[in-house]
Chain A
């Protein structure tokens, strides 16, 4: 048993403990805070599983963006009528037993895997040089399974449409009611003036470096979305009304460019979403940059919520 084993055991136990405190916390605010901590600890677990791209995505989206969403919801739900109905103890015990059974069966299935399991890694690495990328996960996302990534972007847009459709009738084309800071605060203004330039550079860097090292469009786009939200919350910029043309173009440019490149593949190469040999990296980098802009816009708008205020012209 090496020291790495004890480190892994420590991380796994911490993750379980924080997960349990998320479920069993008394107040919802405590549960939301525990969930953010859980997301960050899980990122460490992903690093120990040698999946660094996933660790970046989990820390950014799973920990950060979901935490923002949930904490905003908890703050608004303080004015709700409390619900004290609880299931009876026998039902709770029975549910606990069945859930433990599910967990035990999953764990047994994982531990009883044979020594060498079927893997696609050799196939990925064999053809990675043709795509011009150095990062195998980026190769899978943008070349081998590019259709999945395109459809995932469309799913994000559909979710945003769903969120926007929850606006009251008179607030259509209005401004999302993101919870702003109560009054202009000099400390928060200082942060919102100092951090976004750094954040934008970090976001663009993460998108650019994703071709050869862990990173990519999703991680970089999340950092950009966070910087935009920070500027809005600190009252340095107003939240855009959802009818603005630049916002809608920004949301759509990612999937549109991706789709255009895919259709171009029908003409230039031998199929939808195929890349012409030798020029694959140029196409992929174009798609990634357009996707970063769209992802930043979509994630920020999803966190901002449905429009509440009427647009003031």
Chain B
């Protein structure tokens, strides 16, 4: 079993972990963390396919690599927007969750 196959099992495991955390954890910040984990698992799957597609003297197919670089940057942009939304929710309502059981501290709009 080669190294690429090892990471080929690690990537889907990370996808499963991230999906589990995304669904079960109620806090939005933990969901954002789990979403990033899910994303990086998917990127690892791309990386394994790139490694298996080595040919013509390059050790790894460059096209999936370029797609993963683009994807990492876009995932950071999405995370930044999500975190800004959570912080705004915190400012407006005093709580960082959308659950209806937690009391809301209404803050007057400045």
A–B interface present (Cβ within 8 A): yes
Which A residues have a C-beta under 8 Å from some C-beta of B? Answer: 4-5, 8-9, 12, 15-16, 19-20, 22-23, 28, 31-32, 35, 38-39, 42, 45-46, 48-51, 53-54, 57-58, 61-62, 65-66, 69-70, 73-74, 76-77, 79-83, 85-87, 91-92, 95-96, 99-100, 102-107, 110-111, 113, 117-122, 124-126, 136-137, 139-141, 144-145, 148-149, 152, 155-156, 159-160, 162-163, 166, 168-170, 216, 218, 299, 302-303, 305-306
B103 in contact with A218 (CB, 8 Å): no
Which residues of A are found within 8 Å of B36, using beta-carbon distances? 35, 62, 66
Give the complex CA separation of A46 and B68 in angstroms. Answer: 11
Q: Which residue of B lies closest to A142 (CB)?
A: B66
Given contacts A48-B3, A81-B103, A110-B49, 8 further A-B contacts (CB under 8 A): A12-B6, A16-B14, A49-B4, A70-B29, A80-B97, A110-B45, A160-B77, A299-B76
Main secondary structure of the interface of B (DSSP, over half): helix
Produce 1/0 per residue, B23-41, CB < 8 A to A: 1111101101110110010
Interface presence of B109 (CB below 8 A) = yes
Main secondary structure of the interface of A (DSSP, over half): helix
Which residues of B are found within 8 Å of A118, using beta-carbon distances? 53
B12 in contact with A73 (CB, 8 Å): no
What bracket does the count of chain B residues touching chain A fall in?
Answer: 35 or more
A-B contact list, 15 entries, CB within 8 Å: A20-B17, A22-B21, A28-B29, A50-B54, A58-B72, A70-B32, A83-B95, A99-B16, A110-B45, A111-B9, A119-B54, A121-B56, A122-B55, A148-B67, A156-B74
Q: Which residue of B lies closest to A42 (CB)?
A: B40
A-B CB contacts (within 8 Å), total count: 292
